[in-house]
Amino acid sequence: MDGSPLYPKRVSDTLTYDLTQGEVSEQRLYGETTEYLQSVYNKAKVLNQSAARLAMGVFQRRLASSTYALLRSFERRLEKLEAIIGDLISGKLPIEELLIRQRRLSEDDDVFESLTADDESMEEGLEQNQIAEERLLQAVVAASLADLEAEKEQVQHLLDLARQVNDLPASKFEKLREQIQTPQFAGEKLILFTEHRDTLQFLVRRLEGLGFTGQVAQIHGGMPYTEREA
């Protein structure tokens, strides 16, 4: 009533950072991943536009989250491709059945858009968004064995590059390190938010590497509610 503020003042800043450059760099990985998405999923639109849109979103979000999260998606994608190629070669999966499966892929909700972490259900320690992503990564976007082999080669190349880039300092994490080591934040408790569990694991490892071992707590939707509450 006397005009004094009810809440503490909040300051919201957007901190920018530059991607690493060079032969083995974040910039090259991001550029080649974008080309992969455009070439493979533009082709996929003919087979199942909604599944292609959602699957592209998986890679784009992980691309923005961390190199490690993107790397893990490429590992999972490669596993799916190798399994399907093996089934096609052995005759276990006829190409006609593969095409039918692609057209039957339902238009699932985008879990990140429709639910919060607390709303998501849990299954065997996995969050609902992780389960949805796994299903999307199983969705192949090829009309022939040759298409699958070509994508497998492309994904293997991107995975190799992602592993090399992941071994180098990450520009986004270096920006975070710079912030938490400033006098303003030294000794303060900080909360970091990320969409992906893989990025969470990456952050815990890197923060412990900075000397915060035993000082990092983590909460994710795959934990039982009582554990999260504790």
Q: What integer pLDDT is reported at residue 224 of this predicted model? A: 82
pLDDT score of 122 more than 60: no
The answer on pLDDT for 114 being more than 70 is no
How far apart are the C-alpha atoms of 59 and 61, rounded to whole Å? 6
How is residue 221 annotated by DSSP?
T
> Residues 149-172: what's their mean pLDDT?
95
Hey, CA dihedral for 71, 75, 80, 84, is it positive or negative? Answer: positive
What does the block give as tokens for 110? 């985008």
The confidence band for 103, taking pLDDT boundaries of 50, 70 and 90, is low
pLDDT at 48: 60
For residues 52 and 60, the answer to whether their CB atoms sit within 8 Å is no
Identify the residue whose tokens are 């095409």: 99
The amino acid occupying position 121 is S
Residues 118 and 211: their CA atoms lie apart, in Å, by 31
At 34 the pLDDT is 87
* Mean pLDDT score of the chain: 83
Average pLDDT value for residue range 190-217:
92
The three state secondary structure string of 192-218 is CCCCCHHHHHHHHHHHHHHHHCCCCCC
Mean pLDDT calculated for residue range 111-129: 58
Task: Compute the distance between CA of residue 203 and CA of residue 64 in angstroms, rounded to an integer.
Answer: 14
**124 with 131: CB under 8 angstroms?**
no
* Residue 19 parent element (H or E): none
Q: What pLDDT sits at residue 208?
A: 93
- Segments in 91-224 forming alpha helices (H): 95-104, 111-114, 128-137, 145-166, 171-180, 197-207
Q: Is 112 helix (H, G, I), strand (E, B) or coil?
A: helix
> Which residue do the tokens 């992602």 mark?
162
User: Is pLDDT above 60 for 168?
Assistant: yes
More confident position, 41 or 205:
205
The predicted model gives 164-184 an average pLDDT of 93
pLDDT surpassing 60 at residue 101: yes
Instruction: Report the pLDDT value the prediction gives residue 37, as an integer from 0 to 100.
Output: 82
Is residue 131 pLDDT above 60, yes or no?
yes
Q: How far apart are CA 138 and CA 141, in angstroms?
A: 10
Higher per-residue confidence, 225 vs 114: 225
pLDDT at 116: 55
